[in-house]
Structure 1
Amino acid sequence: MTTQNELFEKSKDLVPGGVHSPVRSFKGLHTTPRFIKKAHGAFIEDVDGKDYIDFCMSFGPLVLGHKDSDVEKSLVDALSRGWSYGTCEPYSLDLASFLLSKIDFVDQIRFVNSGTEAVMTALRLARGATKKDKIIKFNGCYHGHTDSMLIKAGSGLAGTSEASSAGVPEGISKDTLILELGNTEEVIQCFKDHPGEIAAIIIEPLPANNGLLIQEKSFLEFLRKITKDNDALLIFDEVISGFRVAFGGMAELTGITPDIVTYGKIIGGGLPVGAIAAKKEIMDNLAPVGSVYQAGTLSANPLAMVGGLETLKKMTPKAYEEINANTTKIINVFNKWLKEYNDGEFSHYSLTSHSSLFWIVAAEGVNCMDKIPADITEKFNPLFETLLEKGIYLSPNAYEVGFVSLAHNDEVIGELEKRLWN
């Protein structure tokens, strides 16, 4: 049997860096990426036959765990009918009707293929609806790899920006204004500096892709007010938080209504799906009704639609209580072990959490990029490798969060304790 070390060497000849997404590369770690051959429940198993308790969960979509039997049955049934039509089909209507019946602040939804595509469409829609060009984005929020979101703060005045990736033209970065999370004065000044030019503010209401940077509700309320006062739109990027912190995401938990919301991850139950949703007067700007163009060959793929629907049907109020309770137990186990392991080798770490998300970080009160320790990666890597050796799989990057699923039940938590103290 080919080992994962051999597979990685082969992969590097075939794929840039040997991976199809950079975070999978194990960059900076003293081990090679794990090539997973199968998964079930809370566990994944690599090609060498070692299994791991999985807290990556495909970076969030698998809220039920791997290979849920009901989702699997729905996919097998759908597969027997065909797997791509390129036409209108009823399955997306079933999912759309289910979602819109439960999320009362939107009227319509359009399915795309990823969170990045959802954000790209939401930005274009905001610009088309407002007839303005500039977008405010916050340092520390990740919105996919569309050009205008691969922007970092510049070295000049508040709101200045520059590309954080090669291949992003300067002209695109000029229309993305970068501010710091939680800084209301910067937002006020930015609107003064660009009167009548700002189409929208986009934010992860629970920033969870550059650490878990939990924001005060008052800051989100402020963004809602200032966008209304300046005829700009508020976009909530709920690709991660949507259907995870609550069925209606952070919009439901906070009671703050965005103009446009983007979804991904859980909405497809582990298959490639993203979505944008808003009130009808905004969605009517999208083609074929309006002049804002968006299209996709595989949008509303029938497999993804039934997989997403079967997953979301299981996310009842009781399910959220259960997954949050499991998360609390898991955090307590990790925190106890971090203090005790190897005479306190990792005692400087603790877990920040929200709902079924957690982040292991060697600092407290981190809610913006400036507060993230500069040495976070070099401190995280030994912890990651220690846990990996014990059969516990985290997202392989210090800035990524951990995800708990309904499959992380008491039995799995007991196994976690055994592996940690073994």
Structure 2
Amino acid sequence: MPTRSEQLFTEARQHLVGGVNSAVRAFRSVGGTPVFFRRGEGAWLEDVDGRRYVDYVLSYGPLAVGHAHPEVVRAIQETAALGTSFGAPSELENVLARSVKGLMPSIERIRMVNSGTEACMSAVRLARGYTGRDRILKFQGNYHGHVDALLVQAGSGVLTLGIPGSPGVPAAVTETTVTAPYNDLEAVREVFREYGDELAAVLVEPVSGNMNCIPPVPGFLEGLRELCDASGALLVFDEVMTGFRVSLGGAQERFGVRPDLTCLGKVIGGGLPVGALGGRAEVMDHLAPTGPVYQAGTLSGNPLAMASGIATLDVLGREGAHAAAEAATRELVEGLRARAEAAGIPLSTHQAGTMFGLFFTETDPVTGFDDVAAADAERFRHFFHGMLEAGVYLAPSAFEAGFVSTAHDRVALDHTLEAAERVFAGLPR
């Protein structure tokens, strides 16, 4: 008999494109049927067939305090009872803005939006409007949402599906987008030598989370800052994924590099759709209504998303909370690596705060797109399904980072590592 997930996926394909509303959910790169979930609590998910899983996807990052945290749920419920959206200002926008600015001093002004894609799109427009230049530099394997101008050598779902760009994006839209290998500062210097006075911005994931999890090599981010300062280009950190995960103050705090603009999302929504663009007041004030660069959104700063974000950052910011989650991530990664080694399985790993990456390769460390592309995707596929069967939910793609929350306790970690030991032992050599 088919499972309930299989039945629901059969029905979904009659209504939704590919049966899903976001491409990576379709399990195309790992095979099999997507799991349909009905509830989450803490570090655990329960599917529609009643099976439970330790969750390391966490809605691709935003659930930094776990599923259905009581304080987050209560904040959403109490706010919803007062109204879900006004299309007008509310005090909650001020509260979340103060919280974000307190954690990221590079942000002097902030604009709430509805997604990370929207934040990155707005950052590009603002950078061009502020500098009067058109060219943007991005990096291979970095993904900044499905913005036309940035869907060039992107990561995550684009890599998973094997699409180098996308039909429907005119060449004229991307001709001002320049790419360079991530973590290759000499290649970036070459770009600046050729286009320096034409570059409006350098847009980078300070820790790449869309070709799995790859931290910057020493000097890379610092080099970007120096090159931007010398040329007049803006340095834009896409911290949609890394913000409040790599550290409470994001990658910019951990690595000590101050960007001109920061794109945020994920955690500041606590599970609801939200994003933000923030940075130097001088630059941000070029946005309408104080400046000529237009940006707007009817649901931007809506009360539900603001309340969820406020509660999430409050819980995450309590003494020892983030440090404990980071320690759990370290134990998980070290435990997985040790068990893979004991089973004779080459496994390279990375950790950045509460983000982690697993790569079935002998290359160690993994530093860029070519390393990720050369990893053993077939072995990952077997590992993914083995862990899924054992009650551990990982992202259904070798190009996605993993995440740990404050709710991942001893029980969740032990379950995961015991499952991994069995699965590693049964992987094809």
Is TM > 0.5 for Structure 1 vs Structure 2? yes
SS at match of 1:152: coil
- For 1:416, the equivalent position in structure 2 comes to 416
SS at match of 2:38: strand
SS at match of 1:111: strand
Contact 1:163–1:173 (Cα < 8 Å) also in 2: no
Return the match for 1:329 from 322, 328, 331. 331
| TM-score using structure 1 length | 0.93
Q: CA deviation at 1:52?
A: 0.5
Q: Provide, for residues 366-395 of structure 1, a one-character-per-residue CA deviation record: whole Å limited to 9, x for no partner.
A: 111122243532221010000000010001
Answering whether residue 89 of structure 2 is matched by residue 88 of structure 1, we say: yes
- For 2:322, the equivalent position in structure 1 comes to 320
Q: Which moved more, 1:94-103 or 1:215-224?
A: 94-103
- For 2:189, the equivalent position in structure 1 comes to 188
Distance of 1:248 and 1:328 partners within structure 2:
19
Answering whether residue 305 of structure 2 is matched by residue 304 of structure 1, we say: yes
Q: CA deviation at 1:415?
A: 3.0
> 1:332 corresponds to which letter in structure 2?
E
> 2:308 corresponds to which letter in structure 1?
G
Percent identity, please: 39
Q: CA deviation at 1:416?
A: 2.8
- For 1:356, the equivalent position in structure 2 comes to 354
* Mapping 1:10-409, distance limit 5 Å: 10-152=11-153, 164-316=165-317, 317-340=319-342, 344=343, 347-363=345-361, 364-374=364-374, 376-409=376-409
Q: Provide, for residues 8-60 of structure 1, a one-character-per-residue CA deviation record: whole Å limited to 9, x for no partner.
A: 01111111111111110001434200000111001101111111110111000
Contact 1:338–1:350 (Cα < 8 Å) also in 2: no
Distance of 2:405 and 2:75 partners within structure 1:
20
Distance of 2:375 and 2:420 partners within structure 1:
24
Matched residues, number: 410
Distance of 1:54 and 1:11 partners within structure 2:
23
Q: Provide, for residues 324-362 of structure 1, a one-character-per-residue CA deviation record: whole Å limited to 9, x for no partner.
A: 11112222332343345xxx3x72224322221111112
Q: Provide, for residues 185-233 of structure 1, a one-character-per-residue CA deviation record: whole Å limited to 9, x for no partner.
A: 3222222222421101010111111122221241111110111111110
> 1:334 corresponds to which letter in structure 2?
L
> 1:108 corresponds to which letter in structure 2?
R
Please list every run of 5 or more consecutive structure 2 residues that lacks an aligned counterpart in the other structure.
155-162, 423-429
> 1:349 corresponds to which letter in structure 2?
L
Distance of 1:30 and 1:212 partners within structure 2:
22
- Change in Cα spacing, 1:103 to 1:417, as seen in structure 2 (3 Å) is closer
> 1:120 corresponds to which letter in structure 2?
M
| TM-score using structure 2 length | 0.92
> 1:291 corresponds to which letter in structure 2?
P
SS at match of 1:372: helix
Superposition RMSD on alpha carbons, in Å? 1.8
Q: CA deviation at 1:420?
A: 4.3
- Change in Cα spacing, 1:92 to 1:415, as seen in structure 2 (3 Å) is same
> 1:327 corresponds to which letter in structure 2?
T
- For 2:159, the equivalent position in structure 1 comes to none
4+ residue segments displaced more than 6 Å: none
Distance of 1:124 and 1:52 partners within structure 2:
41
